[in-house]
Structure 1
Amino acid sequence: MQRTLLGLALLACIPAAFATPAPGDDIDRLVDQAMARYDLPGMAVGVIQDGRVVHIATRGQLAVDAPDTVDADTLFKIASNTKAMTAAVLARLVQAGKLRWDDPVIKHLPQFAMHDPWVTQNMQVRDLLIHNSGLGLGAGDLMLWPEPNQFDRADIIAGLAHLKPVTSFRAGYAYDNLLYVVAGEVAAAAAGKPFNQLLRQEVFAPLGMDGCQAGDWSPTQVGNVAQPHYRTARGNVLGRVDGEWEADFPSMAAGGVRCSVNDMLRWSQALLDAGNAPGWLDARQRRALWTAHMPMPISQRLRDWDNTHFLAYGYGWRLSDMDGQWKVAHTGTLSGMYSSLALLPDRRNGAVILINGEGEAARTTLMQALLKRWTAPAAGLDVNHYADRLDAERGAQVAAGRVRPDTSAARPVPPAQVAAQGLYRDPWFGQVSLCPAGDTLQWAAARSPRMLATVKQLGGRLLLDWHHLGEDADAWLQLDGQGGAATMQLSAIDPDIDFSYDYPDLRFERVADCPSVR
């Protein structure tokens, strides 16, 4: 479905300094470029100009080889774009006097503990949202995914005490997810209601986001739900398909919401113009969400593409300048789905992209092309232009040797060649087994069933070849010591591995022999 909702009369009202061409065909051209360049299974795109929805473009299917097509009400995983909604829930509670941004976390969650007792005592509610904890990038994320697993919110909170910091508290920025889970539990404790209920009460209902789903819900009853896909040599293949019932997602506050492009456009309009949601958030709390609370490093790409001089994290948002204009944005990545939302608040413009496939490059290039229509219209830069630049970056990485080494020659290692077999335990991740399975050696996580791998050997090194994860997640396996003193560590094979495969924070110690096979 494609809609153009802006007429010539509205264009005449746009200030001359911000005037841009009517969107329709131009946006469709960019969307079609992204679909073709990256062979996406499905996508929904919405564009806001001068505070009004001016175009919606949808393409593809809910699932490959299925007849149902994506439309403006199709639900997608928005992943980390949930974080801004979590921040909004907290802002509503601050506005209602139920908590303060500078409240100690332990005031609301006495069981909360970080590795350092001083940090435990001094971490405030605001700190949960701005990635300044001192933990490493993505620390503890293996308690969140791959999904499904057997970690609940209590496990996640308890696990924080075992994650060692890599910098001082509040010394710098490192993206995390676990503390957003804590933020959701702080909100629930302060309000006396489950977090999924708070999301509906404080965000979905007052803003008319009627399609959004969180907590326990039935995809079968709701219908029109996009399914995740992964890219293989055979093309797009389905990932984990929704069941009849989706249980409450433990990391919901960090990335567990599903919404349609229509819902996300309503969300964007409420943020761009307080008049679209009278009384929902006062001016003070709106400023708090989009205040620069934590400086972020500026990548060379941002400097080259957008002439960026400023980058910081607000409450659930990334704040920056793009070609001299204020930009507020975030992305989301989760289990075969990608999202992107970007706003230019001073112009009341913005765009939303939802993809149900491997869409990292697609969302980057398409959002860039959409925003450049406003920030640098004379340049006429499109998706293919930015895709070519990404390809050039990749070529430079290859030339520099920063690529995944070829492991195709790896072969299963005979169990007899590995003496340090047994059961191992990590303080926060729990137990794993390194035990024979027929004529192979397998690595299996007790609480994360998708983390099952065959142990292989390549050039004198051991590696884990995952059964249910992409090869990008494969890991080197290092065993040290013998008997009860044996230890195990994992490290990434691919230098560009998703940071949520948090191998560096795992420290396994051998605790028992493998179970006897009878």
Structure 2
Amino acid sequence: MHAPMPPRRYHHAVACIAAVAATLVGASSPAAAQPETTLTSEQQAYLDRQVDETFARYHLPGLAVGVIVDGKVAYVRTLGERVAGSGEKIDADTLFKIASNSKAMTTALLGRLVDQGKLRWDDKVTQYLPDFRMYDPWVTREMQVGDLLTHSSGLREGAGDLMLWPEPNDFTRADIIHALRYLKPAYGFRSQYQYDNLLYVVAGELAAAAGGAPYDVLMRREVFAPLGLARCQVGAWQRDEVGNVAQPHGWIDGRNQPIRIDGAQIPASAGDPAGGIRCSLNDLLAWTMNWLAPTPAQLQWLTPAQRVVLQSPHMPIPLPALRRQWDHSHVMAYGYGWRMADVDGQWTVWHTGTLAGMYSELMLLPDRRGGFVLLINGNGGAARTVLGEALLKFFTDPADTRGVAGYAALLDEAAAAKGARSDTALPDSATLPPANPERMAGRLGVYRDPWFGTVSVCAQDGTVHFRADKSPRLAGLVVEDHGRYLVRWDDRSIDPDAWLDFHAAAPMRLTLAKRDPHGDVSADYEDLDLTRVGACPASITSSPSTGASPPPHARFTSLQAPLAHARDASVLR
């Protein structure tokens, strides 16, 4: 019905970036010998050393790694436990949260619908979702399916992510679509790359509208089943029926402790299309093989034309300095659910995934029919960066002997040169005195933000507490720091704490800001603009706990370098 084609507006940008990349690869790549399907003893030893050193250096609770060489799985290694101290070993079938690696599965689903004639990449979003609105009416009218996927909407990085994380929360996809009309753009539409999750949620709902079934049903039917991703999970499912599920961990009080442990019933999440899928190492290796060495059946599942659209550059990404230094890269871009760059003269296509206590990376070297997958169930940002680099050099520069140890040292040096994160100079918020309810009397009340909903700043048992109605984990004690108020989150895996700034007006306004301005961009407190809508209820009771969290006194610390701190940080990948 509809010819599969990329959006017209991207043709020139794609052609220009692809031409640069092709020139670089053609000019820089020596004629590489075909890698052997079976690893040599030296190759096996190299990979074992990198995995072992990463696991030990970063005190990971669990790690799973797979490497594909010449279109065949050549290396599989798993270490550690699903839950630290449980004795339950991780294996290649253990489920991990793959976080933003879910995005490529969402775009593959959309590609399937394009192949089936159910949508076009350059269709307007409102054709499928009539209630969709952005802040600017012109952007609403012009937003196309492809625009949802390239992080170029004009929204600030991480805008609105408080509706997705921390999980679980009560925001629905309908809430998110409605909220977009209140989020003010920080940049021009299609003008620059700023990482975004909310529009992938919109993409999931658009797929549901075009495909005639809920997102999770479509994902299972159109992606998991045809590719044999037997263990992948999306939507609601039963933990114990599925079994073998890794839990996220934080580095707390000097050891790995599980955080946000799953209940028996895993609920569907509004953020599933952006980052809510779970898969095993075996699943992700099968998924990777589909891209590197597709079978004839897989080329019917998703046509070569759509594969090109998904993994072609659509939006340039500013090149981080370390990528230039470490990988001799010249160009970096975003496709549909994939990043891409030249590395040592070879073309790479990849993505990372980051949630609290869960890290992943999936790397493709299409011309080599090689790549790798790594999965971590701990506080593993720096571990992912250095192990990913060591595995990448296995393909692009085998003579590079730095390995995990060398790249870890370089990462530490880069962090030291950049300066320590600002919160290291601040006192532990646990040492700050609780706010006095009497002094805050004029500020207490119920406040409302048009996109985030209602929060309360109310007295309880002689102290003051902040609570968000739709996000139960965003609850904490209000403390005072030299006359300024700070909410110290009860769940210490939420980073960073937030300043509360009250603005005398009629009615009173409340804005929030990160205590650490370099903290996770998904803690988008700065997008909140709360207006007092009423007094505190006569009786305030504690919100019920949702899942296991570190105790309030726990000291949640990081083994990670500052450069790898933020969600899907683009320092290297």
Shorter chain as normaliser: what TM range?
Answer: over 0.9
Q: Distance in 2 between matches of 1:467 and 1:269?
A: 43
For the Cα contact (< 8 Å) 1:405–1:493, is it kept in 2? no
**Count of residues paired in the alignment:** 502
Q: Which stretches in structure 2 are left out of the alignment for 5+ residues?
A: 1-30, 541-573
Instruction: Tell me which of 382, 389, 393 is aligned to 2:403.
Output: 382
Query: Does residue 442 of structure 1 match 2:465?
Result: yes
Query: Does residue 60 of structure 1 match 2:76?
Result: no
Q: Distance in 1 between matches of 2:382 and 2:536?
A: 43
Query: Does residue 327 of structure 1 match 2:348?
Result: yes
Q: Distance in 2 between matches of 1:187 and 1:111?
A: 15
Structure 1 residue 402: Cα displacement:
4.3
Q: Distance in 1 between matches of 2:269 and 2:493?
A: 22
Structure 1 residue 195: Cα displacement:
0.7
Structure 1 residue 335: Cα displacement:
2.8
What letter matches 2:447 in structure 1?
Y
SS in 2 for 1:151: coil
Q: Distance in 1 between matches of 2:171 and 2:234?
A: 18
Structure 1 residue 18: Cα displacement:
4.7
**Cα distance per residue 1:99-144 (max 9 Å; x no partner):** 0000000000001111111111110000000011000001100001
CA RMSD of aligned residues (A): 1.5
SS in 1 for 2:300: coil
Query: Equivalent residue for 1:29?
Result: 49
Instruction: Tell me which of 159, 162, 174 is aligned to 1:154.
Output: 174
Q: Distance in 2 between matches of 1:391 and 1:495?
A: 20
Q: Distance in 2 between matches of 1:264 and 1:354?
A: 10
Q: Distance in 2 between matches of 1:279 and 1:458?
A: 61
1:339-488 pair list within 5 angstroms: 339-398=360-419, 402-408=422-428, 409-418=431-440, 419-470=442-493, 472-481=495-504, 484-488=506-510
Q: Distance in 2 between matches of 1:180 and 1:471?
A: 23
Structure 1 residue 380: Cα displacement:
1.3
Instruction: Tell me which of 217, 221, 236 is aligned to 1:216.
Output: 236
Q: Distance in 2 between matches of 1:454 and 1:434?
A: 10
SS in 1 for 2:295: helix
What letter matches 2:365 in structure 1?
L
Q: Distance in 1 between matches of 2:507 and 2:34?
A: 67
Structure 1 residue 446: Cα displacement:
0.8
Query: Equivalent residue for 1:8?
Result: none
What letter matches 2:483 in structure 1?
G
Q: Distance in 2 between matches of 1:495 and 1:298?
A: 22
Instruction: Tell me which of 335, 343, 350 is aligned to 1:314.
Output: 335
For the Cα contact (< 8 Å) 1:423–1:432, is it kept in 2? yes
What letter matches 1:215 in structure 2?
G
Query: Does residue 90 of structure 1 match 2:122?
Result: no
Q: Distance in 2 between matches of 1:202 and 1:150?
A: 28
Query: Equivalent residue for 2:520?
Result: 498
SS in 2 for 1:266: helix
For the Cα contact (< 8 Å) 2:510–2:530, is it kept in 1? yes
SS in 2 for 1:132: coil
What letter matches 1:440 in structure 2?
T
For the Cα contact (< 8 Å) 1:451–1:469, is it kept in 2? no
SS in 1 for 2:348: strand
Instruction: Name the TM-score, length of structure 2 as normaliser.
Output: 0.85
Q: 1:240 to 1:402 in 2, by over 3 A?
A: closer
Query: Equivalent residue for 2:204?
Result: 184
Structure 1 residue 396: Cα displacement:
1.9
For the Cα contact (< 8 Å) 1:328–1:343, is it kept in 2? yes
For the Cα contact (< 8 Å) 2:34–2:70, is it kept in 1? no
Q: Distance in 2 between matches of 1:24 and 1:209?
A: 27
Q: Distance in 1 between matches of 2:125 and 2:424?
A: 41
Q: Distance in 1 between matches of 2:502 and 2:321?
A: 38
Structure 1 residue 154: Cα displacement:
0.5
Q: Distance in 2 between matches of 1:325 and 1:115?
A: 40
Q: Distance in 1 between matches of 2:354 and 2:466?
A: 26
Q: Distance in 1 between matches of 2:105 and 2:231?
A: 15
Query: Does residue 81 of structure 1 match 2:101?
Result: yes
Query: Equivalent residue for 1:145?
Result: 165
Q: Which stretches in structure 1 are left out of the alignment for 5+ residues?
A: 1-14
Structure 1 residues 297-306 or 267-276, which shifts more?
A: 267-276
1:281-296 pair list within 5 angstroms: 281-296=302-317
Q: Distance in 1 between matches of 2:410 and 2:382?
A: 11
Q: Distance in 2 between matches of 1:474 and 1:512?
A: 25
**Cα distance per residue 1:392-432 (max 9 Å; x no partner):** 12222336x74543222422111112131111111000010
Structure 1 residues 457-466 or 316-325, which shifts more?
A: 457-466
Instruction: Name the TM-score, length of structure 1 as normaliser.
Output: 0.94
SS in 1 for 2:110: helix
For the Cα contact (< 8 Å) 1:134–1:174, is it kept in 2? yes
Q: 1:186 to 1:102 in 2, by over 3 A?
A: same
Structure 1 residue 266: Cα displacement:
0.4
Q: Distance in 1 between matches of 2:56 and 2:91?
A: 18
**Cα distance per residue 1:61-97 (max 9 Å; x no partner):** 0001101100000000000000000000000100110
Structure 1 residue 16: Cα displacement:
5.4
Query: Equivalent residue for 1:197?
Result: 217
For the Cα contact (< 8 Å) 1:397–1:403, is it kept in 2? no
Structure 1 residue 458: Cα displacement:
1.4
Query: Equivalent residue for 1:114?
Result: 134
What letter matches 1:500 in structure 2?
S
